[in-house]
Structure 1
Amino acid sequence: MSADNPIDFPGELHRALERLDPRPGLAFMAALCERLLPNHLLYAELTGDGDARGVRAVMDLIWESLTVREARIDFERQAEKLAACEPESTDDSFGTRSALEVTLALSSCLDVLRGSAVGAPVEVSRISIGGVERYIDMVEGAQWADDSEREARLAAHPLMADERAFQQAVFDELEAGALDRERLKALRRLGRNDGVSNLGLSLEE
């Protein structure tokens, strides 16, 4: 992703997201969730905790609901299934929190599909940004002298530049034309990001 930042991030982006209709808003969220997904899948593979297959199934159904407008899916039931996919661990480790963030973001998508989620695209955007911030802080934060240096380092970090570029690219794709089947495929490819998550993690590593 390019480090170019044509908008005030995340302020202007969030204001633009608030103006989106529900369906393009959901498509934005789905693309971000797709990119978050490896964090949960990797956690499940390494720890045996969480339900990788169940989370993937919910993700697939969210895309199906966008692609097949007449699809009949019981989203209340899917929300119950998603809750069962959450890691059972009660620790506050970074891996556990990252896996939980995936289920939280997917839950926001299901809330939209159930008609009960004001501001959900902004919330999912914040989840992804927050995960990147915590990861950088965990890896490099001990080196920073104060909050001013922390803020500057976070803003300039390559992972945060990639996050800015990714969310911008998803929004630009939504703005490029009608949200038809081909555009949804493009958004999903964008979200898959060659299997690399917002934290730069991949199952293939």
Structure 2
Amino acid sequence: MSADYSIDFPVTLHRTLDQLDPRPGLAFMAALCERLLPNHLLYVELTGDGDAKGLRAVMDLIWEALAVRDARIDFERQAEKLVACEPTAEDDSFGDRSALEVTLALSACLDLLRGNAVGAPVEVSRISIGGVERYIDMVEGAQWTDEDAREAALAAHPLMADERAFQQAVLDEVNAGALDRDRLKRLRQLGRNDGISNLGLSLAE
């Protein structure tokens, strides 16, 4: 994934994410993953490659782990199931890459739940930002004359502005109070984003 833009995009945000305790960090990650999910589901619908049902099940279990602290979930087994949900194509197309990145983001959540994910919230933040960056590159990159023009276009693009606002809104909700069921419900609803992904894509289209 190109990281040119995501390196200097949300410096303050990433510093804050690095300071989150594991549970608030996981809540932030889960909301971002929820918003990423349509990218994978749409790829499966269009190509038949991947496992939309399996991916949704893993996502649901991550929310369950947040809501029920003593939930008995075998996260090692869920990690194995997640690998089986990955697209099998190796053509590095935009759709394939975007679908794979959803599984990578969910994998980071499972790593955190297994206690071995230093910097996982920043990783998921970068995955989401990087996907937006690549999408804008793909759609509009041919018209840019140099790197300065590219960076200016990325910074001004509505999708990137929306990404900035979304991640900040999720972080604000995470930090607004105790992560009780009502707050987790609000975070999940925020992540669902009316079924529209970080790339502006929706299964309804």
Paired residue for 1:24? 24
Q: Deviation string for 1:55-100 (max 9, x for gaps)? A: 0000000000000111000000000000000000010100000000
Paired residue for 2:200? 200
Gapped regions of structure 2 (runs ≥ 5): 1-7
Q: Distance in 2 between matches of 1:63 and 1:9?
A: 28
Paired residue for 1:90? 90
Q: Distance in 2 between matches of 1:174 and 1:98?
A: 26
Q: Distance in 2 between matches of 1:85 and 1:175?
A: 32
Q: Distance in 2 between matches of 1:69 and 1:90?
A: 38
Q: Distance in 2 between matches of 1:177 and 1:76?
A: 30
Matches within 5 A, 1:141-160: 141-160=141-160
Paired residue for 1:130? 130
Gapped regions of structure 1 (runs ≥ 5): 1-7
Question: Does residue 1:63 correspond to 2:63, yes or no?
Answer: yes
1:38, CA displacement in angstroms? 0.1
Paired residue for 2:114? 114
Paired residue for 2:44? 44
Q: Deviation string for 1:34-53 (max 9, x for gaps)? A: 00000000000000000000
Amino acid at match of 1:156: A
SS class of match (1:72): coil
Q: Deviation string for 1:11-56 (max 9, x for gaps)? A: 0000000000000000000000000000000000000000000000
Paired residue for 1:5? none
* Identical residues among aligned pairs (%): 84
Paired residue for 1:3? none
Q: Distance in 1 between matches of 2:126 and 2:167?
A: 11
1:175, CA displacement in angstroms? 1.2
Q: Distance in 1 between matches of 2:135 and 2:15?
A: 26
SS class of match (1:66): helix
1:162, CA displacement in angstroms? 0.2
Amino acid at match of 2:97: R
1:9, CA displacement in angstroms? 4.2
SS class of match (1:136): helix
Amino acid at match of 1:28: F
TM-score, normalisation: structure 2: 0.96
TM-score, normalisation: structure 1: 0.96
